[in-house]
Structure 1
Amino acid sequence: MSSSGGAGADAPASRTSGGGEAVDALEWKFSQAFGERAAGEQVQEVDIISAIEFDKTGEHLATGDRGGRVVLFEKTDAKELRVRQELERSDFASPRYPEYRYSTEFQSHEPEFDYLKSLEIEEKINKIRWCHTANGARFLLSTNDKTIKLWKVSEKKLKKVNELNLEPSIRFGNGSLTEGSILSSPKACSLRNSLLDQDALAFNDEGFLFPPDGISSLRLPRVSSIKVTPFARSRRVYANAHAYHINSISNNSDGETFISADDLRINLWNMEITNQSFNIVDIKPSNMEDLIEVITSAEFHPFHCNLLAYSSSKGTIRLVDLRQSALCDSHSKLFEEQEVPGSRSFCTEIIASISDIKFARGGRYILSRDYMTLKLWDVNMEASPVLTFKVHEYLRPKLCDLYENDSIFDKFECCLSGDGLRVATGSYNNLFCVFGVSPGSDESALLEASKTPNRRRLLQTSIKSGRFVNFGRGRRDNRRGNETQGIEMNGGTHDFTSKLLHLAWHPAANLIACAASNSLYMYYA
Structure 2
Amino acid sequence: MRLQAGNGGETTWCFSQVKGTLEDDVTEADLISCVEFNHDGELLATGDKGGRVVIFQRDPASKQCVPKKGEYNVYSTFQSHEPEFDYLKSLEIEEKINKIRWLKRKNQAHFLLSTNDKTIKLWKVSERDKRVTGYNTREEGGRPRDPARVTQLRVPTVRPADLMVEASPRRIFANAHTYHINSISLNSDQETYLSADDLRINLWHLEITDQSFNIVDIKPANMEELTEVITAAEFHPTECNLFVYSSSKGTIRLCDMRAAALCDRHAKLFEEPEDPHARSFFSEIISSISDVKLSNSGRYMMSRDYLGLKVWDLRMETKPVETYPVHEYLRSKLCSLYENDCIFDKFECCWSGDDQRLMTGSYNGFFRIFERSGGGGGGGGRRGELTLEASREAAARPRQPLRARRVATTAKRKKDEISVDCLDFNKKILHTAWHPHESVIAVAATNNLFLFQDKF
Runs of 4+, deviation exceeding 4 Å: 3-6, 174-179, 220-223, 451-456, 487-491
Which consecutive unaligned segments of at least 5 residues does structure 1 have?
Answer: 13-25, 83-92, 163-173, 180-206, 208-219, 460-470, 475-484
The separation in 1 between residues aligned to 2:35 and 2:165, in whole angstroms, is 19
CA contact (8 A) 1:391 1:472 kept: no
Aligned partner of 2:15 in structure 1 is 30
Aligned partner of 1:46 in structure 2 is 29
CA offset digits 1:42-89 (Å, max 9, x no partner): 00100100010011111111100000000001112127x87xxxxxxx
Aligned partner of 1:285 in structure 2 is 220
TM-superposed CA distance for 1:160, in Å, is 8.5
Alignment of 1:473 with 2:445, yes or no, is no
Alignment of 1:9 with 2:7, yes or no, is yes
Q: Which stretch has the larger CA shift, 220-229 or 230-239? A: 220-229
Q: Secondary structure at the match of 2:427?
A: coil
For residue 391 of structure 2, the aligned residue among 441, 450, 453 is 450
Distance 1:235 1:221, change over 3 A: closer
CA contact (8 A) 1:444 1:458 kept: no
Q: Secondary structure at the match of 1:402?
A: helix
For residue 336 of structure 1, the aligned residue among 259, 271, 288 is 271
TM-superposed CA distance for 1:9, in Å, is 2.3
The separation in 1 between residues aligned to 2:156 and 2:287, in whole angstroms, is 69
CA contact (8 A) 2:128 2:165 kept: yes
Distance 1:150 1:398, change over 3 A: same
The separation in 1 between residues aligned to 2:246 and 2:143, in whole angstroms, is 60
Distance 1:294 1:176, change over 3 A: closer
CA offset digits 1:282-327 (Å, max 9, x no partner): 0011110110000000000000000000000001111000001111
Q: Secondary structure at the match of 1:132?
A: coil
Aligned partner of 2:397 in structure 1 is none
Aligned partner of 1:106 in structure 2 is 78
Query: In structure 2, what residue type is equivalent to 1:33?
Result: V
CA offset digits 1:337-364 (Å, max 9, x no partner): 1100122211111111100011110011
Alignment of 1:55 with 2:55, yes or no, is no
Superposed counterparts of 1:333-372, under 5 Å: 333-372=268-307
Distance 1:229 1:292, change over 3 A: same
TM-superposed CA distance for 1:473, in Å, is 3.1
Superposed counterparts of 1:66-105, under 5 Å: 66-78=49-61, 94-105=66-77
Aligned partner of 1:241 in structure 2 is 176
Query: In structure 1, what residue type is equivalent to 2:105?
Result: T
The separation in 2 between residues aligned to 1:10 and 1:368, in whole angstroms, is 33
CA offset digits 1:454-500 (Å, max 9, x no partner): 665255xxxxxxxxxxx7738xxxxxxxxxx9x97765412111101
Superposed counterparts of 1:60-209, under 5 Å: 60-78=43-61, 94-157=66-129, 159=131
The normalised TM-score by structure 2 is: 0.87
TM-superposed CA distance for 1:11, in Å, is 7.7
CA contact (8 A) 2:408 2:419 kept: no
Distance 1:490 1:414, change over 3 A: farther
The separation in 2 between residues aligned to 1:221 and 1:247, in whole angstroms, is 48
Q: Secondary structure at the match of 2:102?
A: strand
Aligned partner of 1:258 in structure 2 is 193
For residue 431 of structure 2, the aligned residue among 502, 522, 525 is 502
Q: Secondary structure at the match of 2:436?
A: coil
The separation in 1 between residues aligned to 2:204 and 2:167, in whole angstroms, is 22
Query: In structure 1, what residue type is equivalent to 2:116?
Result: N
Q: How many residues were matched structurally?
A: 425
Which consecutive unaligned segments of at least 5 residues does structure 2 have?
Answer: 135-140, 375-380, 395-400
The separation in 2 between residues aligned to 1:255 and 1:391, in whole angstroms, is 34
Distance 1:137 1:243, change over 3 A: same
The normalised TM-score by structure 1 is: 0.76
Superposed CA RMSD:
2.8
The separation in 1 between residues aligned to 2:351 and 2:130, in whole angstroms, is 40
Query: In structure 2, what residue type is equivalent to 1:507?
Result: P
The separation in 1 between residues aligned to 2:3 and 2:255, in whole angstroms, is 43
Distance 1:300 1:489, change over 3 A: farther
CA contact (8 A) 1:158 1:229 kept: no
Q: Secondary structure at the match of 2:29?
A: helix
Q: Secondary structure at the match of 1:397?
A: helix
Alignment of 1:411 with 2:411, yes or no, is no
